[in-house]
Chain A
Amino acid sequence: MWSSRLAVHQLQKFAAAQLTISTMQRAQSTLPRVYVTRSVPPDGLEILRNSGQVQFEMWDSDDPVPREELLKRVKGIDGLLCVLTEKIDAELLDAAGPNLRVVSTMSVGYDHLSLSELKKRGIRVGYTPDVLTDAVAELTVALLLCTSRRLTEATHEAKTGGWGTWRTLWLCGYELANSTVGIMGLGRIGLAIAERLKPFKVKKFIYTDVAPRPELANQIQAEYVSMDEMAKQSDFLVVCCALTPETQGICNKELFSKMKKTSIFINTSRGGVVNQEDLYDALATGQIAAAGLDVTVPEPLPTSHPLFSLKNCVILPHIASASFTTRNAMSSLATNNLLAGLRGNAMEKELKL
């Protein structure tokens, strides 16, 4: 009886919000089971509800699901839709059990996924590259300009009475025109950032990576250099690499000591790439001019952290992909990846393990 009622609902494209999750569970007990670890944006949720392909439970909150709860809820699931705050490791995969065959993350980063454990168990992984490239590149440029043109200091002065009459060198910043921009990690996002910086009359683009990337570098005439050269030559150094054992803590005092006193350091990749104590020292002593970070260790960064005491450090709460269209696109892609994986089909964006 529940089945036929549900079939009628589907035929009428009954608004999914009317159905409770438990109703779906009772009616569709043979459908693959999915756990969704956070309240996902509407586009993805709608796809999931209307698919008729799965029964799902969702941690319906803006805040992360507590670990204990997560380990309970994943028992026996076939598919998992998660975000970057969940550690998908051996403990969780054990708790889930052998039915789990697809993990779909609503992120392009996958440092929260234990790839070796997933590969071992033959679990397929979906993620969300490309759909967030524009938003992330845009926010990186926004952060760079906010840092180099001292917008945080400026808005503060305007609010607190520091704004007097026009002065010749007050709140002067460093301009992109005639500068050298260094990209650490020339992938999709690094290239998109460089493309956006070009019309600001950047003189030269240089980059480092594990190996040269001519197919991307040629699009912006970027020169492949060593880390040392990148540190020495860059007026703006933008970190866009993935977090791996090789890049962990790679931005440290050795790097900062080689940079120009007038240089600007920007990181929107992962907090773990930067040694935060060394960055603090470099900023406090004037070894580099300023820094802008969208990612930190930990996240959130405690409000007592020394980096907050610096005028020349701008910190954002990991909002690089935070545009309405992008978050909806990410949720749609993540959901579609999940459903495709559960059907045994090719995913739109599958992570090669």
Chain B
Amino acid sequence: MQSAQQLVKVFVTRRIPQDGMKILRQAGMCNLSVWDSDEPVPRAELLKGVTGAHGLVCLLSDRIDTEVLDAAGPNLKVISTMSVGFDHLAMDEIKKRGIRVGYTPDVLTDATAELTVALLLATARRLPEGVQEVKSGGWSTWKPLWLCGYGLSGSTVGVLGLGRIGLAIARRLMPFGVKRLLYTGRGAKPEAKEVEGEFVPLDTLVSESDFVIVSCSLTPDTQGLCDKAFFSKMKSSAVFINTSRGTVVNQEDLYEALSSGRIAAAGLDVTTPEPLPTNHPLLTLNNCVILPHIGSATYATRGTMAELTANNLLAGLTGVAMPTELKI
């Protein structure tokens, strides 16, 4: 057991699940300082908290830039973020200072794929409208054509970006009677065989799919990809789903496409910005379902992310290999 002076200082920017905190405490090597709140740490508190820290546990809402790194000082050797994204970290500065970075890929694939299918089904089968009608007295009786939606059975599904998450989504859709699974990307993938995926050009996917699911990463090529031209090629009965990143979609063009009936409906778990302002036009449309970026939001997954974050940190502090280290 190390004495108080020998404990390494660690700053944790938020109250994280106990699964992670337990691991940090039981290691017996950390002098833990925690911003014990569900809300983000204010900037001034962050700068104070990181002073002299050897390790930093943070979330994607914390901007770790030069100012923070300077405030921390030369002790800082590990940053462990509880996220798979790392656009909040100033990677050049971090690399320059020889700081190691841990993050949380893979462990959230199942939860995110599940949420994407949940969103697709809620959008296609008009669940929010149904819930609303029931609450407001719009439900009078069973009617043959009321609230009819689009079923997956016999449909063509197109996945833009068949990566880990895209493939996990496709696997979950297979038993719904999907007739064709199309995908597009930089190249054909052998894994696609498992879901009988057909590699096609983007235009083919867009024009032939009944369900278009965007699952690609955000790059200069995919920025603003889903725009007026994109929507104009889709079927008027098609449903559009995005759970990747908000800026892949041109939101004004999407609004036009939905309000004019150019496409049937859309479901989004990501927007620009996040949060989306409550007066945004997309929120007024009956055929647009918007979720507040909850792709990985399950108790089990957030617990696992917290554990991984803690283990990445401790490995970095003791100079050994991390379970999931970000290659800088």
| 5 closest Cβ pairs, A-B complex | A142-B121, A145-B118, A323-B151, A163-B275, A163-B292
CB nearest neighbor in B for A84: B142
Q: Is A139's CB under 8 angstroms from B276's CB?
A: no
Within 8 A of B (CB), among A266-316: 299-301, 303, 308, 314-316
Report if A206 contacts B (CB, 8 A): no
Let me know if B157 is at the binding interface, CB within 8 A: no
Q: Which residue of A lies closest to B82 (CB)?
A: A168
Chain A residues close to B by CB (< 8 Å): 38-41, 62-64, 83-85, 106, 134-135, 138-139, 141-143, 145-146, 149-152, 154-155, 157-178, 195-196, 198-201, 299-301, 303, 308, 314-319, 322-327, 331
Most chain B CB inside 10 Å of its own CB: which residue of A134, A300, A308, A317: A317
Q: Are B141 and A168 in contact (CB under 8 A)?
A: no
Q: Is the CB of A39 within 8 A of B144?
A: yes
CB-defined contacts of A171 to chain B, threshold 8 Å: 292, 294, 297
Q: Smallest CB–CB gap between B113 and chain A, Å?
A: 8
CB within 8 Å for A138 and B139 given contacts A151-B122, A155-B290, A322-B125 = no
Q: Is B130's beta carbon under 8 Å from chain A?
A: yes
CB of B175 within 8 A of CB of A195, answer yes
B residues in contact with A40, CB < 8 Å: 144
B135: min CB distance to chain A, Å: 6
Contact residues of A: prevailing secondary structure: loop
Which parts of B111-147 form the interface with A (CB within 8 Å)?
A: 111, 114-115, 117-119, 121-122, 125-128, 130-131, 133-147
B128 touches A152 (CB 8 A): yes
Ordered by A's residue number, 28 sampled pairs between the chains whose C-beta atoms are within 8 Å are: A135-B151, A142-B125, A145-B122, A146-B127, A149-B294, A151-B127, A152-B128, A152-B131, A155-B289, A155-B290, A155-B291, A158-B292, A159-B283, A165-B40, A170-B297, A171-B294, A172-B302, A173-B297, A173-B298, A173-B299, A175-B114, A175-B298, A177-B300, A301-B134, A301-B139, A308-B134, A314-B131, A316-B127
For the complex, is B46 an interface residue (Cβ under 8 Å from A)?
no
Tell whether A325 pairs with B302 under 8 Å between CB atoms, given A142-B127, A158-B276: no
- Please determine whether B142 and A138 come into contact, CB atoms closer than 8 angstroms: no
Q: Is the CB of B300 within 8 A of A178?
A: yes
Q: Is B14 an interface residue (CB 8 A)?
A: yes
B152, CB-defined interface residue at 8 Å: yes
Additional pairs, 4, CB under 8 Å, beyond known A142-B121, A177-B114, A195-B175: A85-B141, A151-B128, A171-B297, A325-B151
Q: Is B45 an interface residue (CB 8 A)?
A: no
- B38's contact among A146, A167, A174, A177, by CB below 8 Å, is which? A167
CA A299 to CA B142, docked complex, whole Å: 8
- Tell me the minimal C-beta distance from A337 to chain B in angstroms: 16
Assembled-state Cα–Cα distance A197/B211 (Å): 19
Q: A154-B294, A172-B299 are in contact. Are A322 and B147 (CB under 8 A)?
A: yes
Are B147 and A175 in touch, CB under 8 angstroms? Answer: no
Q: Is B59 an interface residue (CB 8 A)?
A: yes
Is B67 interfacial (CB-CB < 8 Å)?
Answer: no
Query: With A and B bound together, what is the CA distance between A138 and B115 in angstroms?
Result: 15
Q: Is the CB of B115 within 8 A of A149?
A: yes
Determine how close the nearest CB of chain A comes to the CB of B165; give it in whole angstroms. Answer: 14
- Known contacts: A169-B38, A315-B134, A316-B134. The answer to whether A196 contacts B175 by CB under 8 A is yes
Point out the residues of chain A lying under 8 angstroms from B141, CB to CB: 63-64, 85, 299-300
Closest Cβ of chain B to A296, distance in Å, is 9
Task: Evaluate whether A303 and B125 lie within 8 angstroms (CB atoms) in the complex, with A158-B275, A165-B40 already known.
Answer: no
Report the minimum CB–CB distance from A86 to chain B (whole Å).
11
- List the A residue with the shortest CB-CB distance to B125: A142
CB-based nearest A residue for B120:
A142
Q: State in angstroms the CA–CA spacing of A89 and B184 once bound together.
A: 57
